[in-house]
Amino acid sequence: MWTFLHKLSSPPHFYDLAAKMIPWFAAGSLLLIAYGTVAGLFFAPPDYQQKDAFRIIYVHVPAAYLSMMAYVVMAVSAGIGLIWRMKLAHAVAAGAAPLGAWFTFLALVTGSIWGRPMWGTWWEWGDPRLTSELILLFLYFGYMALRAAIDDTARADRASAVLALVGAVNVPIIHFSVEWWSSLHQGPTLIRVGGPAIEPVMLWPLLAMILGFMLLFVALLLGRVRTEVLFRERRSRWVRKLVYPEETA
């Protein structure tokens, strides 16, 4: 186990291994998302209250899940990179941020599209989940802006890691405070999805979509980390050999 981890953290091994793993994750996610989309759009019966508009949850909920998962992945790997000075962990954090921002954006837009027929407005401040998603998007922007503002990669890694950890402490607090705030507001909230009450015909596509999105995230993340590793290791012998084999030939 330990030697496996050690091997994994060595950049050339990671670079090759990730290349081999990406197709599997991509294929898995493709299958699950295809099943989830078809089943969610065409086979699941319409919700008795929200009618066919509820089908948006099959893309909204997985996107919202991922937006938070990406932050956790980012903060945890930033912490690992900061404490154990593992360069690969910093590369993971750097790769997770833009993906997290994209999925947060997606969760916001699909949530808003869902809200339009439900609430009659595109944006409802009374919904705590959408509001926290918006703040989460700003947190991602801040993280990426800080990274972009620092030229030296090692310094950017460590500075943004501090920010990610501070953000990780704050995210639950933000969520809690937004919830408290909207509970006073008495605004319309969405009917909770999930729980054992939901019918299996409706639930299975949702679970498939969530899992499919997660696999997709892993595949995308591995791809981005490969790019990061390639760039960060640009002076090393293995990268030179890889990108310009003629030099050694």
Where along the sequence are the contacts to other proteins (CB under 8 A)?
37, 41-42, 46, 51-53, 55-56, 59-60, 63, 82, 98-99, 102-103, 105-106, 109-110, 113-114, 116-117, 135, 138-139, 141-142, 145-146, 149-152, 155, 158-159, 162-163, 165-167, 169-170, 173-174, 176-178, 180-181, 184, 216, 220, 223-224, 226-227, 230-231, 234-235, 239-240, 243-244, 246-247
Name the residue nearer to other proteins (CB basis): 4 or 84.
84
Closest distance to other proteins from the beta carbon of 60 (Å): 7
CA distances for 66 relative to 57, 59, 112, 146, 167, angstroms: 14, 11, 17, 22, 17
Closest distance to other proteins from the beta carbon of 1 (Å): 28
Closest distance to other proteins from the beta carbon of 243 (Å): 4
Name the residue nearer to other proteins (CB basis): 4 or 31.
31
Name the residue nearer to other proteins (CB basis): 4 or 41.
41
Give me 82's structure tokens.
């900061």
Closest distance to other proteins from the beta carbon of 142 (Å): 4
Closest distance to other proteins from the beta carbon of 248 (Å): 10
Name the residue nearer to other proteins (CB basis): 3 or 199.
199
CA distance 57 to 194: 10
Strand partners, 51: 47
Q: Phi and psi of 86, rounded to 5°? A: -95, 120
Name the residue nearer to other proteins (CB basis): 26 or 198.
26
Closest distance to other proteins from the beta carbon of 52 (Å): 4
Name the residue nearer to other proteins (CB basis): 4 or 112.
112
